[in-house]
Amino acid sequence: MTAAQILVVDDNRELAENVCELLEAIEDRHVACAHANDAKGALEQVSTLGDRIDLAFVDLRLPDSDGIHLLRELKALRPALPVILMTGHATVESAAAAVDNGAFALVLKPFRSSEFMLIARRALDQVAQRRERQELVERLEQSERRHRDVVEAIPALVLGLDERDDITIYNRPLELLSGFAREEMIGKPGRELIGKRGGVRRLATKDGGHRIIRWECRELEGPRGSHTTYAMGIDVTDEREMMRRTLRAERLAAVGTLAAGLAHEVRNPLNSASLQLQVLKRRLAKGQIDPAVAAADLVLGEIQRLDNLVNDFLAFAKPQPLRTKQTDPNHLVQGVFELIRPEADAKGVRLDLDLGDPVEPVDVEEERMRQVLLNLARNAIEAVAPEKCVIVRTRGADVSGDIRIEVEDDGPGFPEDAPIFDAFYTTKEHGTGLGLAIAHRIVTDHGGSLAVSSRPGCTLFSVTLPQHTEDQD
């Protein structure tokens, strides 16, 4: 503990020393005394030592002034300094003047030691309390400064709102980005800036522009149920712009790939149709009617192929809105099974049906879901050798409430890195490579997913669909 600094002002040196001795003898107190002969010396000491003087004893009668006058001057310099006046002959006037000018006490000479000690103790207690308070204030200020420094140094935007949603914190990065000074913003309504629960918001800037900010918010409960909000924001304007540009570039690249694939697919039937037209022309010139009709049929066939291709392409690239209804998956699968059976029979492939019981209804557009299952089943039949097996299976709701429809075959499968869901990827001579791309698109449009696992001897396509619930109607 640092000693309390006491200034004793008295031209009687002996008495001053006496006072110091008494003060130094007080138990549990650490004091250090300084002495001044007159008012001038006292004021000099207070000006040089400043805050370090904690308590002053002043004689009422001084060679160059009087104690009341010095008291006033000391109070002007240090309003909180406790000053104890000492006098040999107290009058009512001097006592009143002492009180009026804020003296801590007036003690009579010669001192009665017990009385003197009591007053001195009280004054020293006050000094100790004031010091403690001052230390607390300093620590508080320091801690506040540290917090403020952190808020300012964070390379993010920091905004604080009080319970009325008025701005209480507006940090430097936020000032720099928005162009609005803290003084302009403190106390203004701030909820608009960050929204109800944060998220991505536009921040208007002083120059009339705006930035895109991603805000994270925290509500803190304060005293008496009040709420304050702290929000931290990151400027994502550039990131978003870059993402948009990348997406645009990717979309352009995808359109390019699709166009190239489509052109390639269109060229085959066009070539074949134009060859057949030349044949047709020759045969007509020679008057060979029947062979000419056969060539015309081939041209019609190629035109039909082109028409199918364009329809398939549109189904993939520009799907129409879904017209769903509650559908029994088992019923749907049975229909597909009947449709595909002749193709399996023609190739000598065994086609099995494995229906789950029960299988809950799903909300789908029947025609499109039939197309998905047809594409999968047809691929399986095309993949396997004669005598091999294709199974179409349904399964009721799993723990997440999803329904599954599976198509499994024991054919050769495909390599892990084959881009089977890419439009126009095909390993077949007459395939378009659109079947799986369309199937994937339709299933995801229904809110489901199409997964696959493949190894030689077992390829399994699995369609997962969310179960139909009554409140979807």
Ligand X SMILES: Nc1ncnc2c1ncn2[C@@H]1O[C@H](COP(=O)(O)OP(=O)(O)OP(=O)(O)O)[C@@H](O)[C@H]1O
Residues that bind Mg ion (CB under 5 A): 379, 435
Of 426, 445, 447, 462, which lies in the binding site for ligand X, with binding defined by CB under 6 A?
A: 426
Q: Does 372 engage in binding with ligand X (CB under 6 A)?
A: no
Report the site for ligand X in 384-413 (rule: CB under 6 A).
409, 411, 413
Q: Which does 320 bind (CB under 5 to 8 A by kind): ligand X, Mg ion, none?
A: none
Q: Does 427 bind ligand X (CB under 6 A)?
A: yes
Look at residue 411 and give the partner it binds from Mg ion, ligand X, none, a contact being a CB closer than 5 to 8 Å depending on partner kind: ligand X
Contact range with ligand X by CB under 6 A, out of 220-228, 270-278, 334-342, 429-437:
429-437
Using CB under 6 A as the binding criterion, the count of chain residues that bind ligand X stands at 21
Buried b (16+ CB within 10 A) or exposed e, 216-252: ebeeeeeeeeeebbbbbbebebeeeeeeeeeeeeeee
Nearer Cβ to Mg ion (20/377): 377
What is each CA distance from 25 to 5, 29, 33, 34, 60, in whole angstroms?
14, 8, 12, 16, 24
Pairwise CA distance, residues 262 & 282, whole Å: 31
Nearest-approach distance from CB 439 to ligand X, in angstroms: 7
Q: How far apart are the first and last CA of the chain?
A: 80
Q: Are 16 and 35 in contact (CB under 8 A)?
A: yes
Closest distance of CB 349 from ligand X, Å: 12
* Residue whose beta carbon is closest to Mg ion: 435
CB of 424 to Mg ion, least distance (A): 12
Given candidates 85, 336, 380, 443, which one binds ligand X under the rule CB under 6 A? 380
Residue 440's identity, in one-letter code, is H
Q: Is 425 in the site for ligand X (CB under 6 A)?
A: yes
Closest approach, Cβ 432 to ligand X, in A, equals 3
DSSP-derived secondary structure for 248-261: HHHHHHHHHHHHHH
Rounded to whole angstroms, the Cα distance separating 40 from 44 reads 6
**Cα–Cα–Cα angle for 124, 125, 130, nearest 5°?**
95
Give whichever of 24 and 343 is closer to ligand X, judged by the CB atom: 343
From residue 260 to residue 299, the character string flagging contacts with ligand X as x (rule: CB under 6 A) and all else as - is: ----------------------------------------
| Residue span binding ligand X (CB under 6 A) among the ranges 78-86, 90-98, 217-225, 432-440 | 432-440
Q: Count of H helices and E strands in the chain?
A: 13, 17
Pick from 432, 132, 130: nearest CA to 310:
432
Of all residues in the shown chain, the one whose CB is closest to ligand X is 435
SS3 323: coil
Beta carbon nearer to Mg ion, 57 or 313: 313
CB of 240 to ligand X, least distance (A): 34
| CB nearer to ligand X: pick between 50 and 419 | 419
Query: Hey, which residues does 228 pair with through a beta bridge?
Result: 220
The residue among 155 and 415 lying less far from ligand X, judged by its C-beta, is 415
Between 328 and 343, CB nearer to ligand X: 343
Whole-angstrom CA distances from 236 to 3, 174, 182, 201 are 58, 14, 22, 10
Q: Which is nearer to ligand X, 283 or 440 (CB)?
A: 440
CB of 311 to ligand X, least distance (A): 12
With CB under 6 A as the contact rule, the residue among 61, 186, 414, 462 that binds ligand X is 414
Q: Which does 58 bind (CB under 5 to 8 A by kind): ligand X, Mg ion, none?
A: none
- Binding region for ligand X (CB under 6 A) out of 166-174, 203-211, 323-331, 372-380: 372-380
Q: In whole angstroms, how close is the CB of 433 to ligand X at the nearest point?
A: 4
Annotate 182-235 with DSSP letters as a single string. HHHHTTSB-HHHHTTT-EEEEEE-TTS-EEEEEEEEEEEE-GGG-EEEEEEEEE
- For Mg ion, the closer of residues 62 and 438 by Cβ is 438
Rounded CA gap, 319 and 326, in Å? 20
Hey, is 133 helix, strand or coil? helix
Q: Is 351 in the site for ligand X (CB under 6 A)?
A: no
Q: Which of 169, 383, 403, 443 binds ligand X (CB under 6 A)?
A: 383
Per-residue binder mask for ligand X (CB under 6 A), 437-456, x = binder? x-------------------
Give me the torsion for CA of 352, 358, 364, 368, rounded to 10°: 10
User: 3-class DSSP state for residue 463?
Assistant: strand
What is d(CA 67, CA 88) in angstroms, rounded to the nearest whole number?
12
Residues within the interface to ligand X (CB under 6 A) = 375, 379-380, 383, 409, 411, 413-414, 420, 425-428, 431-437, 459
